[in-house]
Amino acid sequence: MRTCRTIKAMSLVVGLLLLTGQIHLAAGGEFTIVVPNGFEDVEGNDGDLGDGAFVSGFRSQSVFDSSQFESLPASQHLLTGFRNRPDGQLPFPLTRTQSDLTLRVSTTTRRPGTLSNNFASNYGDDVTLVYDGPITFSTDNTGIPGGPKDFDYGVIFQTPFHYDPAEGHLLLEWIVEGTSPLIGSDSNKSLDNPVEWVFRNDPNATTANFRGTSTDIFQFTFIPEPSTLLLGAMATVGMLIRRRSLQ
């Protein structure tokens, strides 16, 4: 059985190879899941138009119920990022930049409705830093007028994360330093949402002071397991070395 340390090390190698272009996924290599389920082609009943900002930054955690990932193939548990889509009423393309984004992911036993206000209490043992640095979100605002629009902006992880829904729920944490302008995301507000989030308008906070169930609609992206990708990567690196030795 693989340890968390082994999985993290393998994921880091795969992340580096993906980012540097040493691995190119074949068509159909990605598997996407929209959460909440059922909103692939349905506009949410909530959202914003990208006309506000959190001027001092924030810290937020969202938990996604593991039941939302039941369709995930057994061979594709490597989470490489996510996309969002603009609200159907957004009238124009939009670009927003965050100067410092810290993103962590973990498996957790905390399901929606049970998140603690203490941020650290919600982590699982496999908490992983998946993104750290500046980032720009840019939507072309394409899709059906009035929504749903296309999933065309989000985060590609610097370090992919091994997620198996059989092991727990998915926790996603955002820490943003400085001004955080809103992109105008499509979201859905419902007491039955399989998502809960806790929040504080302070990036250095250790506890939350607000919680909600209105959630942005996410499209999570998964690829095959690290072992499969590493075999391909090793073959690719071997061919590169061989080619260079023949030059």
Q: Which of 15-29, 101-115, 127-141 has the lowest mean pLDDT?
A: 15-29
First to last CA, the chain: 42
pLDDT value of residue 48: 73
- Nearest CA-CA partner of 113 in 192, 166, 56: 192
Burial class (CB in 10 A: 0-12, 13-18, 19+), 57: buried
Which residues, listed in sequence order, are joined to residue 197 by a DSSP beta bridge? 62, 212
Cis amide linkage into residue 36, ω under 30° from 0: yes
Q: Are 195 and 36 in contact (CB under 8 A)?
A: yes
Residue ranges covered by each domain of the chain: 4-246
Query: pTM above 0.95?
Result: no
Query: Nearest 10 degrees: CA dihedral of 108, 114, 119, 123?
Result: -10
pLDDT value of residue 24: 41
Q: Specify the DSSP class assigned to residue 91.
A: -
Strands 94-108 and 53-54: unpaired
81: left (phi over 0), alpha (psi -120 to 50) or beta: left
- Kindly tell me the number of DSSP H helices and DSSP E strands found in the chain: 2, 15
Placement of tokens 């302070």 in the chain: 202
pLDDT value of residue 183: 83
**Mean pLDDT across the chain, nearest whole number?**
84
Contacts of 241 (CB under 8 A, 6+ apart): none
176: left (phi over 0), alpha (psi -120 to 50) or beta: beta
Residue pLDDT, tens place only, 59-108: 999 999 999 999 999 889 999 999 999 999 999 999 999 999 999 999 99
Residue 127 C-alpha from the chain's centroid = 14
Residue pLDDT, tens place only, 178-228: 887 778 899 999 988 999 999 999 999 999 999 998 899 999 999 997 665
CA angle 210, 35, 180 (to 5 degrees): 45
pLDDT band at 246 (very low <50, low <70, confident <90, very high): very low
